[in-house]
């Protein structure tokens, strides 16, 4: 059985990773786990069980001749998930997860999709409110999290409830990857591109991954998890024994079932796998409904976030050789020329 990954969508959270996942999983040459997020390198519980256990459970029913990948935005929070990170120069080290990935998968290709970080923060907060883990209004939450001590703590120990601001510091977070991986193994995209020209963006990804670029999924352009949602019936979620995805995952834990699966002709396995995906997806869509969350139009708070992100936008511009789409609104656009002049042409990875 194959024991490696060919690509990882590393994030960012609330930036379109679900849509990318839904598009890419339809490509005949690509295979992604049905449950989307399958964290390993960032999560102590999975990492301690080891790589072989992870691969067997995550890809047991997957075709070995395809290119394997995951969409795991937990890898782009700047450190280990909800646990203290190994201390670096600033009390945290953005290279921790990238180094773990590189040690196991030195040839893996990484895809990052980035959204206006101020809008990402607002969307992240809205999701937390809908999930009943946040009670603070948006303005109060951001005011709390912009305090220097709160920023330091959020970077040192990334957590869902404290990451509204720091998870949008893309320049800082990507530095950890660029210090470890060669630049040509990292593709940086923007949510704006995904919304405006999804076909063009997908072709860029296909070329980056080395698969046929003339394939276009039937669902291209459809947007997923926009504005948040909750479930009609919590007992019918993706972990329910009645859910086709959960049934498929249960089979992967049985060595006998796995052997029987691989004994089937490849064409039949593809047919069954496609049926499970379609039924599971339709069941999940039916079980979801739009969730009403307070819409906070606090532009003063958004402006404070833009001021906070302006230096990071310059850092990102240096890394990419061009400004991100939100640079002008963040106030960083006017300083881009100076940033470019002081930016090295290429980075040399240090492993």
Distance CA 291, CA 296 (A): 15
DSSP codes, 202-251: HHHHHHHHTS-SS---TTTT---S-S-EEES-GGGSTTSTTSHHHHHHHH
Give a yes or no: residue 1 inside a domain. no
Same domain, 143 and 241: no
Same domain, 29 and 175: yes
pLDDT number for residue 271:
66
- Which of 37, 50, 33 is closest to 10 using CA atoms? 37
Same domain, 80 and 175: yes
CATH code of 11's domain: 3.40.50.300
Same domain, 33 and 178: yes
pLDDT number for residue 337:
46
Look-up: residue for tokens 């991986």?
181
Give a yes or no: residue 120 inside a domain. yes
Tokens at 21, concatenated: 């996942």
Give a yes or no: residue 349 inside a domain. no
Give a yes or no: residue 22 inside a domain. yes
With a cut of 70, which residues of the chain have pLDDT below it?
Answer: 61, 85-91, 225-255, 258-259, 261-262, 266-267, 269-271, 273-274, 276-278, 280-297, 329-351
- pTM, two decimals, is 0.79
Same domain, 280 and 316: no
Same domain, 58 and 126: yes
Same domain, 128 and 271: no
pLDDT number for residue 289:
56
Same domain, 114 and 160: yes
* Total count of domains within the chain: 2
Same domain, 187 and 222: yes
Range of the domain at 97: 7-226+296-341
Render pLDDT for 193-203 as a digit per residue (tens, 0 to 9). Answer: 999 999 999 99
Give a yes or no: residue 266 inside a domain. yes
Same domain, 141 and 98: yes
pLDDT number for residue 342:
44
Distance CA 232, CA 281 (A): 15
Distance CA 311, CA 235 (A): 45
Distance CA 72, CA 100 (A): 14
Same domain, 114 and 249: no
Look-up: residue for tokens 């194959």?
2
Same domain, 31 and 81: yes
């Amino acid at each position: 059985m194959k024991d490696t990954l060919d690509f990882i969508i590393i994030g960012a959270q609330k930036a379109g990773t679900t849509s990318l996942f839904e598009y890419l999983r339809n490509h005949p040459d690509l295979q992604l786990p049905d449950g989307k997020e399958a964290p390993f390198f960032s999560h102590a519980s999975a990492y301690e069980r080891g790589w072989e256990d992870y691969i067997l459970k995550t890809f047991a029913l997957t075709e070995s001749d395809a290119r394997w990948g995951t969409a795991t935005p937990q890898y782009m929070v700047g450190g280990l998930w909800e646990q203290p990170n190994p201390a670096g120069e600033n009390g945290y080290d953005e290279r921790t997860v990238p180094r773990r990935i590189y040690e196991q998968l030195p040839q893996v290709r990484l895809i990052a999709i980035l959204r206006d970080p101020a809008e990402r923060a607002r969307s992240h907060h809205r999701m937390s409110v809908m999930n009943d883990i946040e009670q603070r209004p948006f303005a109060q939450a951001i005011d709390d999290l912009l305090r220097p001590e709160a920023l330091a703590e959020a970077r040192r120990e990334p957590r869902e409830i404290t990451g509204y601001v720091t998870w949008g510091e893309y320049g800082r977070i990507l530095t950890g990857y660029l210090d470890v991986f060669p630049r040509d193994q990292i593709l940086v995209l923007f949510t704006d591109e995904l919304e405006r020209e999804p076909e063009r963006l997908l072709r860029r990804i296909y070329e980056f991954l080395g698969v046929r670029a003339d394939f276009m999924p039937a669902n291209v352009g459809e947007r997923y998890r926009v504005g948040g949602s909750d479930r009609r019936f919590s007992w019918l979620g993706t972990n329910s024994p009645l859910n086709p995805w959960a049934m498929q995952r249960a089979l992967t834990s049985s060595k006998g079932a796995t052997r029987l699966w691989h004994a089937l002709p490849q064409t039949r396995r593809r047919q069954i796998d496609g049926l499970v995906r379609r039924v599971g997806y339709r069941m999940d869509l039916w079980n979801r409904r739009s969730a009403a969350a307070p819409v906070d139009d606090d532009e003063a708070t958004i402006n404070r976030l833009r001021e906070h992100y302006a230096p990071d936008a310059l850092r990102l511009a240096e890394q990419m050789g061009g400004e991100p789409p939100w640079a002008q609104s963040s106030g960083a656009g006017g300083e881009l020329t100076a940033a470019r002049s002081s930016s090295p042409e290429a980075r040399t990875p240090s492993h």
